[in-house]
Amino acid sequence: MTRMKPACSLLLALSATSLAACAADPRPIAADTTYRDVTATHVPKDPDLHALDAVMIDADGDGDLDVVVAIENGPNRLYVNDGTGRLTYHQGAFGTRPGDNEHVRAADFDGDGNMDVVFVAEDDEQHNLFLGDGKGGFVRASDRLPATSQGNAVAVGDINGDGLPDIVVGNTTEGSDQPAQTFLWLNDSQRPGHFIDATATHLPKVDIQGQGLVLADLDSDGDLDIVVASQQPPNRMFLNNGDGRFVDATGRLGPQVPMETREVHAVDANGDGHLDLVFFNLTSNNGAWDKDPQTRLFINDGNARFTDETGSRLPPHRFSSWGGTVVDFNLDGHPDLVVSAIEVPGFVPQQLRAWQNDGKGIFSDVTSTVVPSTTVGRSWSIAQGDLDGDGRPDLFIGGWQSQARLLLTGSEGHGTGR
């Protein structure tokens, strides 16, 4: 849920000037950070945009990655890459109708060799499927999705092992006393790109106010399991029996401190070959101080039984985080974390954080050497991919009423079109 409370309106107005100034700042970034903030020259300017999520695909078949952006209270956007990381807004790629779009994922759903995208929406409950033509064009095919809901999370993957990407949707029921059921939509093998609602037969009937999802093989049996990040404790884990039917195995997550979680990611933090879980949390949805917003790391014993080892492995913090990503920013072979940061109460923009893995799953804050000091905003979900062709992952950072930002790796001049 991304509505802000009325009490915040003055604070938002007061901080708008500094946000806009940061977004427009054309000054070169110091060369001693891993990333360069090229927002001012490479991203369409829109300091009031609600760019809540993004995914990188080659939408136009030119061999480089473009950026698809889920927009809250507006039409979704396609930013086309010129090959050097400079992004141009291709207006109307997903139509002109605004929506309360929360998240986006991509896959070749219809098997034609071109990437397609699915958006989930919250307040208007209108999820959208767009089929790509590989030339930068998309055709709306939302009638192929079997249900509507107050969607706040989406993930795609081959759930039942038939080689086709399926869709999982995390839902909330705010403003209602009804339970929130996670959806499972299986891709129809007879008609790829059409979806069958398998929720009732394949998922546990559990009330989860879902805000984030990850699909990953957590028990090392060769199929995808599901973890649902919930805005109301606890977070949930469902294990796949191999054919796409799931059992509730939340107890294997072990004791959970009360969390209001916005995203969950799978990562082999300690290098033991088993996927661990990182949860990005809020103290509240921009209300008063409530729960501990500390990002938390759960370590997998190899049998999908987890222990919360946050205290010995992650930097302590009090900011709230609406998103983050797992990325090896120093190219040492160990996954690091980039974490969005917003001060709550107050909804005050903060600098994006970077935490480096020592290879054994212990993370240290190296923000000052990785992220430019100007990379400040109400950061949301983060997409990653090589936009400038240097072979290293770049970061597109969404934001709530905040300029979407772009961090490129490499030396000054590489990927800048100079």
More confident residue, 196 or 415: 196
Mean of per-residue pLDDT scores for the chain: 92
Domain 35-409 fold: Methylamine Dehydrogenase; Chain H (2.130.10)
Contacts of residue 274, Cβ cutoff 8 Å, sequence gap at least 6: 220, 268, 300, 301, 302
Tokens found for residue 192 = 């790829």
The phi and psi torsions of 219 (rounded to 5 degrees) equal -110, 15
Q: What is the mean pLDDT of residues 4-26?
A: 37
| 296, 259 Cβ separation under 8 angstroms | yes
Side chain identity, residue 161 = G
Secondary structure (3-state) at 7: helix
- For the four alpha carbons of 267, 69, 238 and 260, in that order, the dihedral sign comes to positive
pLDDT tens-digit profile of 79-138? 999 999 999 999 999 999 999 999 999 999 999 999 999 999 999 999 999 999 999 999
Whole-structure pTM value: 0.91
pLDDT band, very low/low/confident/very high, at 21 (cuts 50, 70, 90)? very low
CB atoms within 10 A of CB 368: 12
pLDDT band, very low/low/confident/very high, at 32 (cuts 50, 70, 90)? confident
pLDDT band, very low/low/confident/very high, at 412 (cuts 50, 70, 90)? low
pLDDT tens-digit profile of 286-337? 899 999 999 999 999 999 999 999 999 999 999 999 999 999 999 999 999 9
Least confident of 28-32, 178-182, 371-375: 28-32
Q: How far is the C-alpha of 285 from the C-alpha of 392, rounded, in Å?
A: 34
- Quick one: which of 306, 312, 223, 215 has its CA closest to 264? 215
pLDDT tens-digit profile of 149-178? 999 999 999 999 999 999 999 999 999 999
Q: How far is the C-alpha of 64 from the C-alpha of 196, rounded, in Å?
A: 33
Which pLDDT score is estimated for 330? 96
How would you label 106-128 residue by residue, b for 16+ Cβ within 10 Å and e otherwise? bbbbbeeebbbbbbbbbbeebbb
pLDDT tens-digit profile of 344-376? 999 999 999 999 999 999 999 999 999 999 999
pLDDT tens-digit profile of 219-246? 999 999 999 999 999 999 999 999 999 9
